[in-house]
Amino acid sequence: QVQLVESGGGLVQAGGSLRLSCAASRLTFNYHGTGWFRQAPGKEREFVAAINWSGSRVYPESVKGRFTISRDNAKNTVDLQMNSLKPEDTAVYYCAARKASDYTTRYQDYDYWGQGTQVTVSS
């Protein structure tokens, strides 16, 4: 079965950077819409970034200009580079993939999920 595994979370001071990585088994990312979502305690799961089969990317305003999603087809990984981190970015970050090749911003449209990785930004 498809498995997604995130890595790279941790504790960082405000203004710092982190890079998250998502590796897949039994799924080739460049054929599938792939996204990153996050969920803070007591809040709904929130869209962070997505990339489709052609490499087109989309971000919400809250992270645009600070976060970058990228895909390495040779390694079959999808990364999330996070710069200028803020305390409000603190959450569990999830990698997700769709059976379809395009992305959406709705978490309900994603079929496969990783277990999540904690990102904590201190002020």
Cβ(32)–Cβ(109) under 8 Å?
no
Percent of the chain at pLDDT exceeding 90: 100
- Write down the pLDDT at residue 61: 98
The tens digit of pLDDT for each residue in 29-72 reads: 999 999 999 999 999 999 999 999 999 999 999 999 999 999 99
- Show the 3-state SS of 9-59: CEEEECCCCEEEEEEEECCCHHHCCEEEEEECCCCCCEEEEEECCCCCEEC
Decide the pairing of beta strands 117-122 and 91-97.
antiparallel
**Residue that is written with structure tokens 């979502």 in the block:** 37
Half-sphere exposure of 94 (CA within 13 A, CB side): 18
pLDDT at 120: 98
Site of tokens 């305003």: 61
Neighbours of 105 (CB within 10 A): 15
Predicted pLDDT at 49: 98
